[in-house]
Amino acid sequence: MSRTRPTDRRGLIVAILLWLVSVAAAIVALGLGELGASKLAFVLLLGWLATVGLPTSVALVALLWAWPGWPLWAFCACALVLSFVLQVLVLRWRWGR
């Protein structure tokens, strides 16, 4: 069977949804870490972040590594933009093959 490339509009919608789920998984994992949640929750969340959400995870880790110590709001804004751009680029590259 041949794989068909989704239309640009549908691809962007899928990229946005994957990005939102990945950002939410990262936020929930951090929040549950503070509350002492079970290991199963972390396995599921980190499983998502290590597979489908990998571009978002890579963007956040790279930004944490290079962050010069500016205010938290600037970090959050940069993290959201960088993770979104990387998620869309990787998804478009993957579908373009």
DSSP 1: -
Residue 13 lies in a domain: yes
**Owning domain of residue 50:** 8-96
Residue 3 lies in a domain: no
User: Tokens at residue 42, please?
Assistant: 């972390």
Residue 58 lies in a domain: yes
Q: Dihedral (C-alpha) 85, 87, 91, 94: value to the nearest 10 degrees?
A: 100
Residue 88 lies in a domain: yes
- The residue-averaged pLDDT of 55-79 equals 92
Q: Looking at residue 50, what is its pLDDT? A: 93
pLDDT tens for residues 35-60? 988 889 889 999 999 999 999 999 99
pLDDT band at 6 (very low <50, low <70, confident <90, very high): low
pTM of the model: 0.79
Residue 15 lies in a domain: yes
Residue 2 lies in a domain: no
Total count of domains within the chain: 1
